[in-house]
Chain A
């Protein structure tokens, strides 16, 4: 980019180009409705390639899970000091990725951050799919998954309740609530857009399908009133979830007495890490997607800029967490904690620790510069590094802490098997499969909120422009 610094600093609108209500409708809805005609030709083959690959990898998940159910947890590399490894790493990693969606939808909504409007749907979908991937792990990592339902407080003849003192129990509630609220939030937000789709659809069955999904939405002011209330309430519900879910996930570790886990800094550090990882994943997907779909005017450079700023901020918090961990270990003065530090710095898995420091600590430093925050390629690479780094962070925390024990006799090395990687890759396949299905078959960008934004920034101009093309029926717009 050859723009001068002054030009960079000037105000840039959240929607670029000459946009009208109609053009927004068209940009988003037509992608779904006109699969044959207007779906970008240059996008079709990448879509098929990615989708095909994702489905292929998804089969790896089916295979891994099948073998896991048949054989048992022993197909993984877990052992006795290291009873948790890839299973919980991946659980925490996926849950963390989901956080950006909720943060964008809920907190930014409540804070009236309008810029969220173009990315919230996308991020929410990511949340749901990530939580689906995450949810597989706690279920399947149990030794006997067929009785994993005992973790729910179901009335039963033995009068046996789960142990509410266990952080894993809290996890069950945290994650299931999180998933329910996120899914509801996503669906409620989609209703007006489903109506737009219904109205724009030409084929009868598509109209019926979206009609069903739009739940009788007619855009009446009463509907809008109730919608706004429900949406706000759900946002209010989600907001504490952003903080609580990962706080509770961090309790799995912080409540225990395992050296390296028993750290009070974990809850804020985990939440920051989750937001960090989540935004990295949003950017990782948004940067190519906005290019392919020609949405650079809706998801603007400004969005990217702001998201990288959040990444930088949370990333620095996380880095501070790493420094604190070292400090606590040193300050404890106990042999166990010091040994653990030593093990992280120079043990057989020291490369994981130092890669983590590089990915999450060093690699984000270029984002201080506004110039760099406009370099999509650079940002994309940084986001990729951050995603890897966040995975490594959990690797450093979970198995690497477990490998060190109060009694040195119990110390044993952990090494993963192909099935550990198989299931992890498989969930990535599942995530991309759902994500790309979503990208193709649902309105990826919040149409009515974009119109709202357009109205707020451009006033009547945008609304009247619609009349130039009366062929299209008015829909969910105000």
Chain B
């Protein structure tokens, strides 16, 4: 440093010291060292904290700047968070909001709307983000239970593919614009229509029951007297309204209370899973089957044109062609009117006769339910039948959804083709994808002078409209909706709109010409049970339900109308909404896509569902391709051979094959809307069916149909069950000594006892004075609806894995619904010898049974001893625990689990959701601020996770925990109050969701608990316990069938 002019401080020259000491040993060495130590340089060196450092003062300007530059550059590295370091923003509350305790969720009542109808929900919110949806116990529709759609709605809320910006222009040329710009243009266009009283103004809506929006539509109508509201719900209740309109003179809304019914006949009605009353119906149906152990049960007859869960739980089931449903209805009516049932193709006359006799005997406790998709004629006939029966289980209100009160989509297309539409607003609906193919909706839409689409996704319709306005999820908006019985419930936002979008109420406000506030608008709505004051309003928000808004029941008289049945030949196609993604609106929801369909166990795909006989006639096998042509359009699907499917009928589930609006739905299934025409909406005749041996690989989660004669799903008929007394042979080994009353058991029971005495395991394995958790699953109540599976997925942060991984057999659901076909003939109710070890596929018309299986928490769990690192161990309260952090992933536990309920993270599933793993995400397709879908997608989906449950990484085993986080939560609460946990305080996610309340959970040591009693029900048994002595904590309760003794082979 020549430029350094300052004098150097004395510095210790270490080299000189070393040289001085060099070569000296012993005494000389120490003396020299002393000499060195006495020098002032050394003293200073010792005193200085950082000796020989470079002082700032020594530095010249250049060096100083170099150092500064480096420091600043290094400090700047922290700014790389978000690029290659994870960005972490953890900001504590400066002021804690009232009611918020960090780590504790808050619950708000709101309403989930499916196909227009409201289902009351309670949504839990963790630090401002909604995380889980449960049913609202005060809401008449859900009563605390939930449907799969309700549970999955949370994923849609955080879907990164949701539309985020207002888009101007069509197709790929669209550009992001502001809502204000849209509003200005809309206002101008609407003003122009005012001259003709709004004759060129059309609104296309879905089924809407919201009192506020219906008010808004009425106001709109007042402002534009010549405008028209059209409604299009691809799988709506149009036929119900049409039928009741003809029969009663006005469209009516039938409501069933099946708990009052002893005999139920379903005419192609999947009333347990589909339609706005499904949860209500499932609850009512279960009420009639709960008391099976006491010997009383309702009886369900089902006529079906496909295989549905309602048919699966029926006591007698006939698969008939869709065109024969009307014959079945007429047959029942004839049977009631003149004592002899008219013939129905594919059903034996004496069976019909016996069924009608049973129905008539039930009288007012009998009810016939016609499916929403059955022809209007069927509804006309059924109205007569129910009137004749004077059924208690059925009541009517006036129809109130837009489908009953609006013009049809056909009229809209007519107007469009006549160039009469100046302004078209499409709200929510996706007609370009779902409209009947003969309408050629997309072409017609191009003729609208100004069109706007309001919806959650920039879907097929949004891309074909001039403007697209993104909608809010129901968790982000103020609104309201009616349940099927008319009860109004409030949609209360849980979070500010993620993308600052207008809510539906605000969008209709915009159509009225105002930028309004949704909350203020719904406060103005006049409900029947008025909530004027603030206190009343707060109570409504708290309860979620507006009191006294149930619609009045009407008691109409049906007119005698003769209906003609039209015989149909050839192969019939039956169009149905997919049981999970519905009409396609949930196609981008991975939870629903991956949830195995109840009957077929298919995921991520639809198929041409055919009976074994028809498959043979068509010359195709499962997973081969079938090309179906209807109305000149054709679609090629994979074949799924479904036992119980009526011969000559192909069931096609719509909603798949979406092309726009999301990445999850890509490559999932085939669009069959192309085959659906406005004249034959729900069933049609195939013009041509061409099978080919080309493989169409389907991702199913269960390949076997038969139980192979094993004792897996136990079942009895009601008559057999009444013969059994007390505790049956089931579940030997679980009862304590001395609990049996001697003499109560037969010789066989004595033998079992003897065997039990030989058992070397102690009766009570866990000697712990505290709750011992256990569960029972009543297979008699299980309707196979999958609500438990998806509730579990939502609660426990279970990832989806995608179609390819499901094909590999790596789906992650902790609870699955096994579906078997028993040896009982679904028609005659008679048993046949069940074949051992042979996959007899399929047995002639077999009865399906459902068995939900999650980890059964064996007391002697086979998984535990084999884990080399003790990552799966038992807790003192009887839980088989999985310690994720300890798991190294040898998968031995899974091999040794006889129930195969363990799930392994073969890949990094939690982070690789398809939304952001796919590199080819098109920015144009996913508009808005998602410029880097990878990171933003992750951030968005991270908001979804339940903070009480670990997110599992790759290479770790996982399984059902009995919702251990909920157990802990309840225990902590009880401890705080200084009391014991009470029965019913711990509710698992599956139990809470179950529409029929088939699952009971609790402390099996508590003799007063529900689970204790249920575990000792005479139908209870422990799955595989006799074979393997695993001693499960989950008991299954056998299924009971209640066949009509007069119906025999």
Q: Which residues does A use to contact B, with CB under 8 Å?
A: 71-75, 77-84, 141-145, 147-148, 150-151, 160-163, 165-169, 172, 252, 255-258, 334-336, 338-339, 342, 402, 405-414
Q: Are A411 and B703 in contact (CB under 8 A)?
A: yes
Which residues does chain A contribute within 8 Å of B818, judged by CB atoms?
407, 409
Nearest CB to that of A412 among chain B residues?
B809
Known contacts: A168-B866, A172-B868, A338-B836. The answer to whether A80 contacts B900 by CB under 8 A is: yes
B49 within 8 A of A: no
Q: Are A143 and B710 in contact (CB under 8 A)?
A: no
Which residues does chain A contribute within 8 Å of B888, judged by CB atoms?
142-145, 147-148, 150-151
Q: Are A166 and B892 in contact (CB under 8 A)?
A: yes
Nearest CB to that of A147 among chain B residues?
B888
Complex Cα–Cα for A222 and B725 (A): 86
B618 within 8 A of A: no
Q: How near does chain B come to A209, taking the closest CB pair, in angstroms?
A: 38
Known contacts: A257-B1028, A410-B900. The answer to whether A73 contacts B710 by CB under 8 A is: no
* The residue from A148, A335, A406 contacting B837, defined by CB atoms under 8 A apart: A335
Q: Are A409 and B898 in contact (CB under 8 A)?
A: no
- Per DSSP, chain A at the interface is loop
Q: Are B955 and A150 in contact (CB under 8 A)?
A: no
* The residue from A77, A80, A166, A408 contacting B894, defined by CB atoms under 8 A apart: A80
Known pairs A73-B904, A255-B866 / 13 extra A-B pairs, C-beta < 8 Å: A73-B889, A75-B907, A78-B891, A83-B892, A145-B888, A150-B888, A167-B866, A335-B708, A339-B837, A406-B898, A406-B1027, A408-B820, A409-B851
Q: Which residues does B use to contact A, with CB under 8 Å?
A: 702-704, 706-710, 712, 805, 808-811, 816, 818-820, 836-838, 851, 853, 862, 865-870, 886-892, 894-896, 898-900, 902-908, 954-957, 1024, 1027-1028
Complex Cα–Cα for A98 and B831 (A): 56
Q: Are B896 and A256 in contact (CB under 8 A)?
A: yes
Q: Are A72 and B895 in contact (CB under 8 A)?
A: no
Q: How near does chain B come to A136, taking the closest CB pair, in angstroms?
A: 15
Complex Cα–Cα for A82 and B891 (A): 9
Known contacts: A143-B904, A150-B869. The answer to whether A407 contacts B892 by CB under 8 A is: no
* The residue from A71, A160, A163, A342 contacting B868, defined by CB atoms under 8 A apart: A163
Nearest CB to that of B820 among chain A residues?
A409
Q: Are A73 and B955 in contact (CB under 8 A)?
A: yes
Q: How near does chain A come to B595, taking the closest CB pair, in angstroms?
A: 16
Complex Cα–Cα for A73 and B906 (A): 5
* The residue from B709, B836, B866, B957 contacting A256, defined by CB atoms under 8 A apart: B866
Q: Are A256 and B895 in contact (CB under 8 A)?
A: yes
Q: Are B865 and A165 in contact (CB under 8 A)?
A: yes
Q: Are A407 and B900 in contact (CB under 8 A)?
A: yes
A-B CB proximity, top 9 nearest: A143-B889, A143-B955, A79-B809, A74-B906, A74-B907, A83-B891, A410-B900, A409-B818, A168-B868
Q: Are B862 and A257 in contact (CB under 8 A)?
A: yes
* 17 pairs, A vs B, C-beta closer than 8 Å: A71-B907, A72-B905, A72-B908, A74-B805, A80-B810, A80-B902, A80-B903, A143-B887, A151-B888, A163-B870, A165-B866, A406-B898, A406-B899, A406-B1024, A406-B1027, A409-B816, A409-B818
Known contacts: A72-B906, A165-B865. The answer to whether A144 contacts B956 by CB under 8 A is: yes
Which residues does chain A contribute within 8 Å of B810, judged by CB atoms?
74, 79-80
Q: How near does chain B come to A135, taking the closest CB pair, in angstroms?
A: 15
Which residues does chain B contribute within 8 Å of A405, judged by CB atoms?
898, 900
Complex Cα–Cα for A72 and B955 (A): 7
Complex Cα–Cα for A77 and B870 (A): 26
Which residues does chain A contribute within 8 Å of B702, judged by CB atoms?
409
Q: Are B907 and A144 in contact (CB under 8 A)?
A: no
Q: How near does chain A come to B810, taking the closest CB pair, in angstroms?
A: 5
Nearest CB to that of A138 among chain B residues?
B890
Complex Cα–Cα for A257 and B810 (A): 22
Q: Are B869 and A339 in contact (CB under 8 A)?
A: no
Q: Are B866 and A407 in contact (CB under 8 A)?
A: no
Complex Cα–Cα for A142 and B956 (A): 9
Which residues does chain A contribute within 8 Å of B712, judged by CB atoms?
407-408
Q: Are A336 and B710 in contact (CB under 8 A)?
A: yes
Complex Cα–Cα for A115 and B781 (A): 74
Complex Cα–Cα for A203 and B177 (A): 83
Known contacts: A80-B810, A342-B837. The answer to whether A409 contacts B887 by CB under 8 A is: no
Which residues does chain A contribute within 8 Å of B862, judged by CB atoms?
256-257
- Max chain A C-beta neighbours (<10 A), residue from B905, B955, B1027: B955
Which residues does chain B contribute within 8 Å of A257, judged by CB atoms?
862, 896, 898, 1028
Which residues does chain B contribute within 8 Å of A80, judged by CB atoms?
809-811, 894, 900, 902-904
* The residue from B865, B895, B903 contacting A402, defined by CB atoms under 8 A apart: B895
* The residue from B805, B811, B820, B890 contacting A142, defined by CB atoms under 8 A apart: B890
Complex Cα–Cα for A376 and B712 (A): 55
Complex Cα–Cα for A255 and B867 (A): 12
Nearest CB to that of A171 among chain B residues?
B868
Which residues does chain B contribute within 8 Å of A336, judged by CB atoms?
710, 1027
Complex Cα–Cα for A338 and B955 (A): 33
Known contacts: A83-B891, A338-B836. The answer to whether A409 contacts B866 by CB under 8 A is: no
Q: How near does chain A come to B811, taking the closest CB pair, in angstroms?
A: 8
* The residue from A143, A167, A334, A411 contacting B957, defined by CB atoms under 8 A apart: A143
Q: Are B869 and A162 in contact (CB under 8 A)?
A: yes
Q: How near does chain A come to B749, taking the closest CB pair, in angstroms?
A: 23
Which residues does chain B contribute within 8 Å of A84, judged by CB atoms?
891-892, 895
Q: How near does chain A come to B853, taking the closest CB pair, in angstroms?
A: 7
Nearest CB to that of A342 among chain B residues?
B837
Which residues does chain B contribute within 8 Å of A151, judged by CB atoms?
868-869, 888
Q: How near does chain B come to A262, taking the closest CB pair, in angstroms?
A: 10
* The residue from A83, A165, A335 contacting B710, defined by CB atoms under 8 A apart: A335
Q: Are A144 and B892 in contact (CB under 8 A)?
A: no
Q: Are B904 and A83 in contact (CB under 8 A)?
A: yes
- Max chain A C-beta neighbours (<10 A), residue from B816, B837, B956: B837
Q: Are B710 and A408 in contact (CB under 8 A)?
A: yes
Q: Are B836 and A335 in contact (CB under 8 A)?
A: yes
Q: Are A407 and B898 in contact (CB under 8 A)?
A: yes
Known contacts: A256-B866, A406-B1027. The answer to whether A160 contacts B886 by CB under 8 A is: yes
Q: Are A339 and B908 in contact (CB under 8 A)?
A: no
Complex Cα–Cα for A246 and B955 (A): 27
Complex Cα–Cα for A103 and B906 (A): 38
Q: How near does chain A come to B2, taking the closest CB pair, in angstroms?
A: 52
Which residues does chain B contribute within 8 Å of A255, judged by CB atoms?
866
Which residues does chain A contribute within 8 Å of B709, judged by CB atoms?
335
Q: Are B895 and A83 in contact (CB under 8 A)?
A: yes
Complex Cα–Cα for A75 and B888 (A): 17
- Max chain B C-beta neighbours (<10 A), residue from A72, A147, A255: A72
Complex Cα–Cα for A84 and B954 (A): 17
Which residues does chain A contribute within 8 Å of B867, judged by CB atoms?
163, 166, 168
Q: How near does chain A come to B884, taking the closest CB pair, in angstroms?
A: 10
Complex Cα–Cα for A382 and B900 (A): 40
